[in-house]
Structure 1
Amino acid sequence: MRAIAVSAFDAEPCLVEVPKPDPGAGDVRVKVEYAALNPLDAQPPGRPPDGGFSAAFPLIVGADFAGRVDMIGPGDNRFRVGDPVFGRVTVQPPGRCGAYSEYVCVPQDSPVTLVPRELPLRLAAALPTAGGTAAQILGGTAVHSGRNLLVVGAAGGVGSFLTQLAAARGLAVVAAVRGDEGRRMKALGATATVDTTLAAGELERAVRELYPAGADALVDLVSTGPAAFAAHAALVREGGVAVTTRGAAAPRGVARVDFRFAPTARLLDELAAAAARGELRVPVDMELPLEKAPQALLRSRAGGARGKTVFTL
């Protein structure tokens, strides 16, 4: 089967031919029709420290997928051949494959579930990581307890979902983006948008103008260093909360939440139902054939994502 894989630690991904995987006990094998790009997919796997896992190359990349069950492993199973499903590959021990492949095997009790009849598979594929991350940030932290929310990196997949979910809960969302994304973010429910490329201090000026005492909460999806995160967290009022998906310190008086994603099938069911009802727009920005995935991953690594990219198989 065709797949996008790396041949060694720190190697760049490329299109390869690998054997089709066989499902183990309790597994389902899915004929993948769509796979979705997430920023972590673009990072070549680094060599683990001594005592780390022993990788079996080639390692197939990718986490999010949608397709149809084509084989059931031994034992009882909650799925049937032909079921339309979507989900997330959470573990890649030797013999398993990632989502950027024509077939993927996943345990039935992993984050995988049925696709509602009203939801196209291409949209379902874009939901698991980005949509699930947004939903867990909003539901599992103190972010939802405020009246307003500053989202830095709002134009990407997670930010697009988070803006919608927060707005649906009645939070006023300030979407900080790079470039001219204001119209799209307001269509997703943002109260205000700020182009952070216009001038130094533009984000601080805009936030202070809207909320002189500071925003109630921050979700920073892009800052990789403590200085950048601290600068954004300084825009949060005393007693507020700052969430980082990258790990960094927050200023004194602001509660920091170092977010860790823990997807479940139930969470995917809730997201899919909201998308099927039209309550949650799935921001697919680009659809590409699988062989274009290596170039798309390089572009993703450069940053500035707008919505989601899905690959067709």
Structure 2
Amino acid sequence: MKTQQAQLPASYRAWVSTGSEQPLDLVLKQQALPDLADDEVLIKNYAIGLNPVDWKVLSSQQGQVVGVDGAGVVVAVGTQVDVALLGCRVAYHQNLQAQGSFAEYTPVKAYALLKLPDELSWSQAAAIPCPALTAWQAIGKIPVQTDAEILIAGAGGSVGHFLVQFAAQRGFQVTASCHPRHWQRLHGLGATRCIADPVQADQSLHLSKKFYAVLDMVGSQHAEALSDAVLANGHLLCIQGRVATWICSPFGRAISLHEVALGALHQHGTLAQWQALTQVGEQIFMAIATGELQAEVPLLQARFAELPQQLQALKHRNFSGKQVIQMDDKQNFSELRGQNDSIIYALST
């Protein structure tokens, strides 16, 4: 393993799953610094993004460091990795089957790295990979049809924040369904219309309009209920789970059914697919840096010791904004954090 001149510690702190589905059952442990695979780098994390997937998979990750999103500096490289990456500012989306981002250090495949523009802070960068790349994959599955009307269900969250923008940029007329507290923000991002959830507690649909595409971020039953709102030859896309059985009769409305799973590339993706994804990710970072794309605000920042409480708050979400954990290495954080952390909020749980 090749490293920088600076000596790395023998161990580091990490939040590890006990196999419980409860975020508050995470345990802070000392982990031995890993031996890198030939195609890996070691990231010293300066910020960690929290995502719903982090609490949803806890019970299947016993003994594993949790977390998918992080941002930091490359401090060591494997034998097949260009040493020019040492010292680079990067963000990443981690494989759920690998040691995660809820740690001071994370080993990451070099091909998954997203280089950061200087204008983005650590916190801004860590907040982006999972939601923005998921939204990008989702909108890419819907053939562009200018002025076609689409419904984005559950649009108030982080994925919806980017998905509304990507859809509007492609010329779709976007109806967003979510809690009213998100409507003003989503209108500003390009939603033509905002409505309350059209699927009621009885899972019946209360919506007279039909859409070229429905993109659902609520759940499989919710998506299935919305299938009646899809036009003939239209599209139903599921981001949270997927519809278990086909949703219309053969040779009926001929709806196309899509699923989105960003993590699929970690298991099945080719190097060419990763190169395409990281190129998109870096373009997204640059678009945010230049103001072409709007990042989610406010950033709700907390310290590393508060991570389980923040993940618990996300599980029972009743707030707007994006949670980011700041690593509490104060000296290095102040030196490397970037220029744009102008909005800092405390999240009460």
Alignment TM-score > 0.5, same fold: yes
CA contact under 8 A between 1:143 and 1:241: conserved in structure 2? no
Report the counterpart of residue 217 of structure 1 in structure 2.
213
Q: Secondary structure at the match of 2:181?
A: coil
- Residue 90 of structure 1, CA deviation: 1.5
| Alignment partners' CA distance in 1, 2:143 and 2:101 | 31
Question: 99, 102, 113: which one pairs with 2:101?
Answer: 99
Please name the residue that 1:311 is paired with. Answer: 325
* Count of paired positions: 292
Given candidates 24, 28, 37, the residue that maps to 2:50 is 37
Give the whole-Å Cα distance in 2 for the aligned partners of 1:233 and 1:287: 38
Q: CA offsets per residue over residues 117-152 of structure 1, 9 Å max, x none?
A: 22222111122111001011112x125336122111
Of residues 276, 280, 283, the one that matches 1:270 is 283
TM-aligned CA deviation for residue 244 of structure 1: 0.7
Question: Any residues of structure 2 matched to 1:172-187 within 5 Å, and which?
Answer: 172-187=173-188
Which letter does structure 1 place at the counterpart of 2:225? Answer: A
Aligned to 2:136: 135
How many Å separate the matches in 1 of 2:260 and 2:326? 30
* Cα separation, partners in 2 of 1:176 and 1:121, compared to 1, 3 Å: same
Structure 1 15/187 Cα, relative in aligned 2: closer, same or farther at 3 Å? farther
- What is the aligned partner in structure 1 of residue 301 from structure 2? 287
Deviation at 1:255, TM superposition (A): 1.8
TM normalised by structure 1 equals: 0.84
CA distance in 1, matches of 2:302, 2:80: 37
1:247 aligns with 2:242: yes
CA–CA distance in structure 2, aligned partners of residues 91 and 38 of structure 1: 12
Q: Using the alignment, how far apart are the partners of 2:188 and 2:83 within structure 1?
A: 38
| 1:100-179 paired onto structure 2 within 5 Å | 100-109=102-111, 111-139=112-140, 141-145=141-145, 147-179=148-180
1:10/1:183 CA distance change after superposition, 3 Å: closer
Uncovered stretches (5+) of structure 1, i.e. residues with no partner: 48-54
Q: Which runs of 5+ in 2 are unaligned?
A: 1-11, 266-273, 328-349
Distance 2:236 2:97 in 1: 32
Is the contact between residue 112 and residue 268 of structure 1 (CA under 8 Å) also seen in structure 2?
A: no
Matches of 1:158 and 1:82, distance apart in 2: 30
| 2:314 paired residue number | 300
Q: Does 1:4 align with 2:15?
A: yes
For residues 42-75 of structure 1, the C-alpha deviation after alignment (integer angstroms, 9 at most, x for no partner) is 124445xxxxxxx7x6311001111111222224
**Matched AA of 2:52:** P
2:78 is the counterpart of 1:73: yes
- Quick one: distance in 2 between partners of 1:136 and 1:79? 30
Q: Calculate the aligned-residue CA RMSD, in Å.
A: 2.6
Whole-angstrom distance in 2 between the partners of 1:8 and 1:71: 30
Residue number in structure 2 paired with 1:50:
none
